[in-house]
A and B are shown apart, each in its own frame.
Chain A
Amino acid sequence: MNEPKIAFMEELLYLCKNHLITTDMETTDTIRIPNPSKELVAFIEKAQQMKKERLKMMRERFISTQSPKA
């Protein structure tokens, strides 16, 4: 087994042992983080901002392709 794969498996075992992930076959589940860290909030805000820009560009691209009414 090569080194990167061993490191990945060690991390997976750590996460399982510390109940940070589950390995049973749930169909749906929800992770709730009611008190997120500043880092997580910043990550989500950035993702939201990127999404907002993406949506704006989609709308602008679409509108620019529409021919004006006579």
Chain B
Amino acid sequence: MLSIEHKFSDKEGNHLLVALSFCDDDYKQGVLRIPEEYNDVEVVDISITKAYVEKPVHHSVFFRMSSWLLREFDQRENAVFTFICSTDDLDTNHPHILPQDFRWELFDKLYRRRSDIPHVRVKDIVVGPEGYQAMGRAFFRDRHAPLINIIAAGLCEK
């Protein structure tokens, strides 16, 4: 799987690492069951992690990261971006919030902070009962809506 990685740093020497991973044809057709007609569409998965997990990162780094993601999406006219929320343990100042819920809220707030971009559509999927949920999001343009719906329908049918 081809990946593009980028580093965002604060003034304290802490870093946020972001990767855009491009799903290959085997994954698109075999796992996501994307019809051949949409084979040319790039399906790009977003991965975000702190370089040093135990160290905090200044909030301005997250703003720069989300701006970069939006620029990348803007430049790739034939791509859909996906984000699967990690369930890994996370140290925060909000121990009553599950790690995935915290990440999801943060990611959503970063997106909505830049919701002035009109051509981006969003579809979310939440799987599992309350307290045990896995969340995912797709960012796409209008013309890719049928493809997203087909992928979503495929997941619903599993």
Residues of A participating in the B interface, judged by any CB pair closer than 8 Å: 4-5, 8, 11-12, 15, 20-23, 25-37, 39-41, 43-44, 47-48, 51-52, 54-55, 58-59, 61-63
User: Which secondary structure dominates where chain B touches chain A?
Assistant: mixed
Contact residues, B100-158 vs A (CB, 8 A): 121-130, 134, 142, 145-146, 149-150, 152-153, 155-158
Q: Known pairs A40-B127, A40-B155; list 20 more (Cβ under 8 Å).
A: A15-B150, A22-B149, A28-B123, A30-B126, A31-B124, A32-B125, A33-B155, A36-B127, A36-B128, A48-B84, A48-B134, A51-B84, A51-B86, A52-B88, A54-B21, A55-B86, A59-B17, A59-B51, A62-B7, A62-B15
A29 CB, min distance to chain B CBs, angstroms: 6
B97 on the A face (CB < 8 A): no
Residues from chain B with Cβ under 8 Å of A31 in the complex? 123-126, 152, 155-156
Give the secondary structure class of A's interface: helix
Alpha-carbon gap, A5 to B36, bound state (A): 9
Of the four ranges (under 10, 10 to 19, 20 to 34, 35 or more), the interface on chain B belongs to 35 or more
A21-B149, A36-B127, A54-B47 are contacts. A28–B17 as well, Cβ < 8 Å?
A: no
Q: How far is the CB of A61 from chain B (nearest CB, A)?
A: 8
- Chain B residues whose CB sits within 8 angstroms of the CB of A34 once the complex forms: 128-130
**A8-B155 contact, Cβ under 8 Å, with A30-B124, A48-B86:** no
Report the Cα distance A65→B37, complex, angstroms: 41
Whether B19 is near chain A, meaning CB under 8 Å from some CB there, is yes
A12 cross-chain contacts in B, Cβ below 8 A: 146, 150
Instruction: Write the nearest CB–CB distance from A25 to chain B, whole angstroms.
Output: 7
Binding site for A on B (CB under 8 A): 3, 5, 7, 15, 17, 19, 21, 31, 35-37, 45, 47, 49, 51, 53, 84, 86-88, 121-130, 134, 142, 145-146, 149-150, 152-153, 155-158
Query: Which residue on B lies nearest to A33, using beta carbons?
Result: B127
Report whether A5 and B156 are in contact in the complex, using a CB–CB cutoff of 8 Å.
no
A48 to B124, alpha carbons, bound, how many Å?
Answer: 16
